[in-house]
Structure 1
Amino acid sequence: MTDQIRVLLVDDQTLIRVGFRLVLEADPGIVVVGDAGDGAEAIARTRELRPDVVIMDVRMPGIDGIAATQAIVAQHPDVRVLVLTTFDLDEYAFGAIRAGASGFLLKDAQGAELIAAVRAVHRGDGALAPRATRALLDHLAPRLPDGPSGVNASAPAPQTDRLAELTERERDVFHAIAHGLSNSEIAERFYLSESTVKTHVGRVLAKLAARDRVHVVILAYEWGLVEPA
């Protein structure tokens, strides 16, 4: 099957890699093209194998998942990184998101959740639930150079220009994405079909030069359009 999603597994525990491989390859639309035991190997294997999605553990010896994610996203912007974490508020996982990962997933996730997350990041959707999106914003708040107050008034011209390119409906979709809504939830809110929402989402990502929905969340906060709880 030529349109299978190519996945690279990265974890320093062999049993976890084996278990995830068994789960993923039970889906005919996914193929595991390789694995790696640390960040350095992950960078090299990504360069060699060119996977569509890298499932990345963050806590590894040597080059950790944060540094590996940053390197992979910089060298291969078309590759999506899905971070594995033990706790849903893991600071390491948020660091990887900030480095360019497209979402994170708990290591004890069910098989269906893992497959759904891989498919989500592959198509450009972030694997973040609304609760996790809010937690991400709360976590980023003290780490960004500008807080929400005053950002709108002093936003650099490139940001203002990018926002100005959005139509009114695209701006609605942008705000909905920033608050963690899924395509189906956006469709329900604005009485649109999901196919129409997908079109709007694609245009929002393109006009904002955003990697994916998670990047949209971060941009919305940095521009002062979404505030932490």
Structure 2
Amino acid sequence: MNGRDTVIRVAIVDDDEFVRSSLATILSAQSDIEVCATGSDGAEAAALFSEFAPDVLLMDIQMPGTNGLAAARGILAGHPDAKVVFLTTFSDDEYIVEALRMGARGYLIKQEVANIAPAVRSVVAGQSVLGGEVIGRVDTLMRAEAGEKSGSDAEDADGDVAKTRREAAKAHGLSDREYEIIELIAQGFDNKMIAAELFIGEGTVRNHVSAILQKLDLKNRTQLAVYYYRDLSKADA
């Protein structure tokens, strides 16, 4: 089995029959992945999860009846370790922040079909996954969410979030410089851009990133972005 010891059991929930069957065909072609169940709405997702206990639940967000977000909340409330990965389109990107905050393990773009099987493996290995340009869009979406408030209220909200994140980072053993680098990574900056922004060398940035990953026991920049927007936003972090 391509050197992999276990088969990953995946459930697919999407109201579009063509999408369901296409994903099932693509994933079933992988020697280490088995599609154990498929469903068409959030209510089915909850029932399928209880019955089959898949290793990964791939689920659309916009579905008739119970949508994916509502279904995920219910599943995660009863099974906090459930590996829920949302499959969606760019038109759904207003849901990215909510998906990450509720504890989803990933947010993938349906059009990026080639990335789905590798993403499933990464999630089972304990990583969080974000598709394509999602990382760079999260900061914009967070700011847009804060922008719904006006005047001093918005400024106060931004300040409170920034303070919470910085304090949480310190509690996790991160320095102010390391926090700044995580913040820029979450905004989609690469090492060259971070170096220019902070007036330090690219080698120094690489060293900082390696140290941060080691401190937080994370694997990559995607996980750092998720850590910034999900974990550092919690007041009790």
> Which of 91, 96, 100 lines up with 1:97 in the alignment?
100
Superposition TM-score, scaled by structure 2 size: 0.68
What SS class does the counterpart of residue 104 from structure 2 fall into? coil
| Aligned 8 A contact 2:174 2:212 in 1 | no
> Which of 98, 106, 109 lines up with 1:106 in the alignment?
109
> Which of 157, 160, 171 lines up with 1:147 in the alignment?
157
| Aligned 8 A contact 2:9 2:35 in 1 | yes
Where in structure 1 are there 5+ consecutive unaligned residues?
183-187, 205-211, 225-229
| Aligned 8 A contact 2:56 2:85 in 1 | yes
Superposition TM-score, scaled by structure 1 size: 0.70
Corresponding position of 1:44? 47
CA RMSD of aligned residues (A): 3.8
Larger Rg: 2
| Aligned 8 A contact 1:148 1:223 in 2 | no
Farther off after superposition, 55-64 or 117-126: 117-126
> Which of 58, 65, 68 lines up with 2:68 in the alignment?
65
1:140-181 CA distance string (max 9 Å, x none): 23546963325455x49xx84673242559868855764568
| Aligned 8 A contact 2:56 2:120 in 1 | yes
CA distance in 2, matches of 1:116, 1:181: 24
CA distance in 2, matches of 1:138, 1:30: 35
Corresponding position of 1:222? 233
CA distance in 1, matches of 2:91, 2:44: 26
Where in structure 2 are there 5+ consecutive unaligned residues?
147-153, 191-202
Higher helix share: 2
> How many residues get paired?
208
Greater RCO, CA 8 A, separation 6+: 1
| Gap change, CA 1:98 and 1:191, over 3 Å in 2 | closer
1:162-220 CA distance string (max 9 Å, x none): 732425598688557645689xxxxx8535998x886544279xxxxxxx656413146
CA distance in 1, matches of 2:227, 2:19: 31
Corresponding position of 2:194? none
> Which of 217, 230, 233 lines up with 1:202 in the alignment?
217
CA distance in 2, matches of 1:33, 1:60: 21
Corresponding position of 1:117? 119
Corresponding position of 2:86? 83
CA distance in 2, matches of 1:10, 1:61: 12
Corresponding position of 1:20? 23
Identity of aligned residues (%): 31
